[in-house]
Amino acid sequence: MKKLLLYSIALLFSAALHAAIRLPALVGNNMVLQQNDSVTIWGWANPSEKITVFTGWDNKTATVTTSGDAKWALKVRTPAAGGPYEIRLKGDNEIVLKNILIGEVWLCSGQSNMEFSYYNGIRQIKEELPVCNNNNIRLFNVPKTTALYPQDNCEGSWQVCDSNSLKPFSAVGYFFGKKLQQTLGVPVGLINASWGGTPAEVWAPEHIVTDKPELSAAATKLVPAAWWPHKPGYAYNAMIAPLTNFNIKGVIWYQGEANVNTAETYTPLFTSMIQSWRDVWHKQLPFYYVQIAPFNYDKENKAALLREAQARSSALPGTGMVVVSDVTENVKDIHPQDKRTVGNRLANWALGENYGKTGFAWKSPAFKDMSISKNKAILHFSNVPTSLKINGKAPVSLYIAGADHVFYEASAKVEKDALIVWSNKVEKPEAVRYSFSNTAIGNIFSAEGLPLGAFRTDDWPVGQ
């Protein structure tokens, strides 16, 4: 028995000495690399093993020596969009990566409204299956899993977009990528790392939460569940950390429903999470996210407070918030079926902000300031290229209050980027609220068709 054990150890030691080059799941056939960038190619091999990397787009070879902990990494320059190309890696063994495209790479993350796919009954994806084949869209699904500590690899593989690979993929992510690809005319790579039910705490590095007393205290309110993690860092460690060597253009995010009970700390949590991702990717990643949709939560205003926290988060440079209150068909369903509109609006943010495209609006109107004139409140809004408009005869979910803090339904008149608001029951107005409840679906839009985001002009205590 002792001899057998020694022989087994010897075999393992011998195998380790002849370990082959190994690549992370993200570096593989069919991948898309970020164009016009210095991208990282990395992996593992024997300590001190010399690795050569040949890139087919420029016929150049780069060399790197594996470190003592069996890791290696090097950077290669990518050209403008194109392909397909090959990458050849040679050490003690040789690997040839094929069908590689150069283009735009985006990460799609969040909870169920980002995760939802054909398998969750999204009708728009079912309709898309017969026409979705597109060699210039590549999809990578990160499996749902957790880890105590940051991992350096995940499972999964790049797939060319077709009716099979699209079925398990994020519907919002797909429609975002489809619009980018059609508009830019370049390959688009989409990485989906999302998990239904997850609070933002699990997507941030653990220290982001535990180092701040107010965030740590809020995290104790998260309710454990059998189907998704709730502890800080658990999803980040297993589903985001393994991606951080891979160059991406930016992030789209749809999450917040799981944080409605901790709205008071969501802004510092969310903005700290965004900054932590930017830190590990070593770039100021564009980060575009979706405000949660109307839904019949069990407390009157907690979703309104979460939306307010999301709106405040957009003050962080390089971020943008998509308003989707108008796509909700049923406030008893937390998952609006219309994922195409959501994906398209996210794409418009990227196209307008990062790719210089014009001729369309991508920012929803947002409250800017208020003044009082006699018995009327005069509200001005940003992101109104031409004018506001009220769909219908009168505004819906618009309220006004005086010093008694009692809100009454309000009348309103549009004057370009301003809204004149009043009620015969309020002689001296002090505050206006719009769509400030769990389920409110307003009817005020920009003339370009984007919904006005929910807001309140006051900072009075709000019952939850």
The 10s digit of each residue's pLDDT in 106-141 is: 999 999 999 999 999 999 999 999 999 999 999 999
Residues 149, 273 within the same domain? yes
Same domain, 195 and 264: yes
323 close to 451: Cβ distance less than 8 angstroms: yes
pLDDT digits (tens, 9 = 90+) for 398-407: 999 999 999 9
Domain identity same for 77 and 107: no
What three-state secondary structure class fits 148? coil
Same domain, 250 and 332: yes
CA 338/CA 127 separation, integer angstroms: 12
Domain for residue 301, yes or no? yes
Domain count for the chain, please give it. Answer: 3
Instruction: Please give the chain's pLDDT, 464 residues, in tens.
Output: 444 444 334 433 433 444 699 999 999 999 999 999 999 999 999 999 999 999 999 999 999 999 999 999 999 999 999 999 999 999 999 999 999 999 999 999 999 999 999 999 999 999 999 999 999 999 999 999 999 999 999 999 999 999 999 999 999 999 999 999 999 999 999 999 999 999 999 999 999 999 999 999 999 999 888 899 999 999 999 999 999 999 999 999 999 999 999 999 999 999 999 999 999 999 999 999 999 999 999 877 899 999 999 999 999 999 999 999 999 999 999 999 999 999 999 999 999 999 999 999 999 999 999 999 999 999 999 999 999 999 999 999 999 999 999 999 999 999 999 999 999 999 999 999 999 999 999 999 999 999 999 999 999 998 75
User: Do 60 and 81 share a domain, yes or no?
Assistant: yes
Say how far apart CA 35 and CA 38 lie, in whole Å.
9
Asked whether residue 359 is domain-assigned, the answer is no
Q: Break the chain down into helix, strand, coil percent, rounded to 5.
A: 30, 30, 45
Whole-prediction pTM value? 0.95
114 plus 187 within the same structural domain: yes
Q: Which residues pair with 39 in a beta bridge?
A: 76
Tell me whether residue 461 is in a domain: no
Burial per residue of 19-57, b for 16 or more beta-carbon CB atoms within 10 angstroms, e otherwise: bbbebbbbbbbbbbbbbebebebbbbbbeebebebbbbb
- Say whether both 91 and 107 belong to one domain: no
Are 72 and 113 in a shared domain? Answer: no
- Angstrom CA distances, 394 to 270, 331, 398, 412, stand at 35, 21, 10, 7
3-class DSSP state of 123: helix
Which pair of tokens denotes residue 432? 């206006």
Q: Which of 56, 124, 114 is nearest to 84 (CA)?
A: 56
For residues 169 and 149, the answer to whether their CB atoms sit within 8 Å is no
Domain that holds residue 420: 366-456
- Looking at the fold, whether 113 and 90 belong to one and the same domain comes out as no
pLDDT attached to residue 400: 99
**Whether residues 157 and 236 fall in one domain:** yes
- Domain containing residue 111: CATH number: 3.40.50.1110
Judge whether 6 lies within some domain: no
DSSP helix/strand/coil, 192: strand
Residue 13 within any structural domain of the chain: no
> How high is the mean pLDDT of the chain?
95
Domain-ending residue, one of 55, 83, 101: 101
Whether 371 and 401 share a structural domain: yes
